[in-house]
Chain A
Amino acid sequence: MTAFTSPPMDTAQAGPPPPVYAKPGFRQRLLQRLGTRIALGWLLLVLLLALAAPLVTAYDPLSGGDNALQPPLSAGHWLGTDDLGRDIWTRVVYGTRVSLAVGIISAFFAVLIGVVLGAIAGYYGGWADALLMRIAEFFQTLPRFVVALIVIAVFGASLAKMILVIALLSWPQLARVVRATVASLRQSQFVDAARVAGMGHGAIILREILPNVAAPIIVIGSLDIASAILIEASLSFFGLGEPNLVSWGGMLNDAQQYLRSAWWMSAFAGLAIALTVWAFNLLGDALNDALNPRAGHTP
């Protein structure tokens, strides 16, 4: 997976060596666009806020004070307060935790399931392949949001269930990509060589084949985080978030009844979701271009 080596130079040729043009490395390619740098900066900020939430605000995100529905820039509450007098800035800051946790953990499990099932389907082929791909197709048919909504409504709201449901509904896309690559590499010479050398199936898949699928895993993983954050926000907006946690989607649910009197209850939480989802989407696109320098769309 490392960059390809330069063509062997004709040592017999005398004279000064040809000028070496530095091939832009992965990092340069990734950070080429301004949008990607801004997106990474935003994500870093969100991560820091999630870790240091109690340090950047003095208020409790769950309990309010006497000053309900204060507009932004009022004394002590620079983003205003909600209908129960809770500080909006504090709630936006604490909301990073739920969004990042649900986004990252459910994407992690979706990737794990997708890679394992995709690798099995692609490597072994036959009935296992047919069965797994039909299951993947079934999950892709399901309207993810409605299924998640109903499962949570039936089994009760909790963060763990939400993560589980989102992961279970999100793996098929990656499974298909992994399957296709693994199936095409199964017959390649380096895999044959490993087999002749006496490597077991598991070792071949893990050490020889999967490193070649690293690019789509990273790209789709990043996009999965974005869509998981959106689903979490949608579920919480529907009132199915965990009640004792602050979630941006839940804040928008509170805001719905106060649109006429308190626009700030909607504005900042929604902006936080949109920017975070956008940043993960941009990061996914940039990773795709940087990891596939030849296939990527040229600007």
Chain B
Amino acid sequence: MISFILRRLLHALPLLLAVVVLNFLLIAFTPGDPILLLVGDFPAPPEYLEQMRREYGLDQPVWVQLWRYLAKVVQGDFGFSFAAQQPVATLIVERLGVTLELTLTALVFASVGGMVLGVAAARMRGRWPDTAIQTASSAGYSIPDFWLGQLLILTFAIGLGWLPSQGNSSVRDATEGFAGWLDHMRYLILPAFALSLRYLALITRITRASMLEVMGSDYILAARSRGASEWTVVVVHGLRNAAAPVLTVIGYNVGFILAGSALIEAVFAWPGIGRLLFESISRRDYPVMLAILLMVSATVVVANLVTDVVHRLIDPRLERT
């Protein structure tokens, strides 16, 4: 197992490196002065421009520049955002918490809901609930999540007035403690649902397919013939064995949910990384954009790594391959 993890790590490192190189190439091959790209469109003092030119060694060959860029990134130095008057790393760390809250809520909801619906559809295969779940999941997979967000705002915030739609807490009557948390939760519901629907649909579909495959196997028949309860058969014997492909799909999508939060945060004015990306694009704040790209890609690589290890742990048959 240890050697497997080490092998996967060795596999993941070049991917991470490639992401950093891609970032570097985006800077290096952009029309215009790359330093202006690194600094952004906002007025920066000429001394800073000079300092950047020296630090990135623009008079040096490309590979020296790449090396210096790498060294900076490894040290967590993503430059300074003149638009926000803050180091890029600080900006991102500040916003990371609220984005993780949104994406993890969406991920958990999509995973639990998807597995429940998938199992239900598989159990009722061919009957109308199965058809309904399958139709709904293919629709849910196709609806653009940012439009779903607008629809939810139109329905639940503007039409019915049940839930707030912009931001992540009430500014005017800010409350502490449990009431404050409850207030915050009300803000979380709509964006988390909008972000999760696509993945809810995907996980439903995978769970259904995987369950159908497992439920036809001999050990299910054996469990049934022993008189095991339906719950034991479906959940203990069925879902546990059907879980591996489902968990893989969940793990492989962690980074993509994080990326998708950009659109959702723009729709709901959720003050996280995605909103930061949206703002940095509209004010052409390149250092922030590139740092976010790096962060999201790194998340995908790490999430895939963790997924492979977990997959291996729950399915020992892979050991032999």
Q: Which residues of A contact B (CB under 8 A)?
A: 35, 134, 137-138, 141-147, 149-151, 153-155, 226, 230, 233-234, 237-240, 249, 252, 255-256, 259-260, 263, 266-267, 269-270, 273-274, 277-278, 281-282, 285, 297, 299
User: B: which residues have CB within 8 A of A?
Assistant: 14-15, 18-19, 22, 26, 30-31, 37, 126, 135, 138-139, 141-144, 146-147, 150-151, 153-154, 158, 209, 212, 255-256, 258-260, 262-263, 266-267, 277-278, 281-282, 284, 286, 289-290, 292-293, 296-297, 300-301, 304
User: Is B154 in contact with A239, judged by CB distance below 8 angstroms?
Assistant: no
Bound-state Cα–Cα, A138 to B256, Å: 14
A297 closest partner in B (C-beta): B209
The verdict on A237 contacting B263 (CB below 8 Å), with A141-B297, A142-B19, A154-B37 known, is yes
Q: B262 to A145, Cβ gap below 8 A? A: yes
A281 and B138: CB pair below 8 A?
Answer: yes
- Decide: B158 and A274 in contact? CB cutoff 8 A: no
A149 to B279, CA, bound (A): 13
Complex alpha-carbon distance, A141 and B308, angstroms: 14
CB distance from B262 to the nearest CB of A (A): 7
Would B289 and A150 count as touching, CB distance under 8 A?
A: yes
Q: How far is B205's CA from A285's CA once the two chains are assembled, in angstroms?
A: 12
Question: Given B135, B144, B304, which contacts A273 in the complex, CB threshold below 8 Å?
Answer: B144
Q: Are A146 and B262 in contact (CB under 8 A)?
A: yes
Complex formed: what's the CA distance from A233 to B144 in Å?
Answer: 8
In the complex the two chains form, is B281's CB within 8 Å of A239's CB? Answer: yes
B76, chain A: closest CB distance, angstroms: 20
* Distance between A165 CB and nearest chain B CB, rounded to angstroms: 12
B289 contacts which chain A residues (CB < 8 A)? 150, 153-154
The 5 A-B residue pairs with the shortest CB-CB distance in the complex, in nearest-first order: A270-B147, A143-B259, A278-B142, A277-B142, A266-B150
> Is the pair B147, A252 in contact by a Cβ cutoff of 8 Å?
yes
Q: Within the assembled complex, what's the spacing in Å between the Cα atoms of A226 and B22?
A: 26
Q: Please determine whether B139 and A155 come into contact, CB atoms closer than 8 angstroms.
A: no
A263-B289 Cα distance, complex, nearest whole Å: 31
Question: Complex: how many Å from CA A73 to CA B281?
Answer: 37
Taken together as a complex, chains A and B put the C-alpha atoms of A139 and B88 apart, in Å, by: 26
9 example contacts (A-B, Cβ-Cβ < 8 A) are as follows A141-B297, A150-B290, A151-B26, A226-B142, A238-B262, A259-B153, A266-B154, A274-B142, A299-B126
Nearest-neighbour CB distance to chain A for B72, whole angstroms, equals: 18
Decide yes or no: A143 and B297 within 8 Å by CB, A149-B262, A281-B141 being known contacts.
yes
Q: Which residues of A contact B259 (CB under 8 A)?
A: 143-146
Chain B residues within an 8 Å CB radius of A233:
144
* Bound Cα distance from A234 to B19, whole angstroms: 22
Distance, CA A147 to CA B18, complexed state (A): 13
Besides A155-B30, A238-B263, 10 other A-B contacts (C-beta < 8 A): A141-B301, A143-B255, A143-B296, A143-B300, A146-B293, A149-B281, A154-B37, A237-B144, A274-B147, A281-B138
How many Å lie between the Cα of A274 and that of B143 in the bound state? 5
**A171 vs B292: C-alpha distance in the bound complex, in angstroms?**
24
What residues of chain A lie closer than 8 Å to B300, measured between beta carbons?
141-143
A137 touches B126 (CB 8 A): no
Beta-carbon contact of A147 and B293 below 8 Å: yes
> Given the complex, which residues of A lie within 8 Å of B31, measured CB to CB?
155
Identify which of B14, B150, B154, B296 contacts A146 (C-beta below 8 A).
B296
Chain B residues contacting A226 (CB-CB under 8 Å) are 142
**B150–A270 CB distance below 8 A:** yes
A151 (CB) vs chain B CBs: closest residue: B26
Bound CA span A150–B289, Å: 7
| Residues of chain B contacted by A237 (CB below 8 angstroms) | 144, 146, 263, 266
Nearest neighbor of A152 in chain B, beta-carbon distance: B281
Residue of A35, A260, A273 near B147 (CB, 8 A) is A273
Q: How far is the CA of A239 from the CA of B283 in the complex (A)?
A: 12
* CB of A48 to closest CB in B, whole Å: 21
Supposing A239-B282, A256-B267, A259-B150 touch, asked if A134 and B14 sit within 8 A by C-beta, the answer is yes
Q: Find the B residue at minimum CB distance from A274.
A: B143
- Whether the pair B150, A149 counts as a contact (CB closer than 8 A) is no
Contact between B135 and A35 (Cβ–Cβ < 8 Å)? yes
| Residue in A134, A137, A149, A239 with the greatest tally of chain B CB atoms within 10 Å | A149
Give chain B nearest CB distance to A98 CB in angstroms. Answer: 14
B158–A149 CB distance below 8 A: no
Q: A138-B15, A147-B293, A259-B153 are in contact. Are A270 and B277 (CB under 8 A)?
A: no
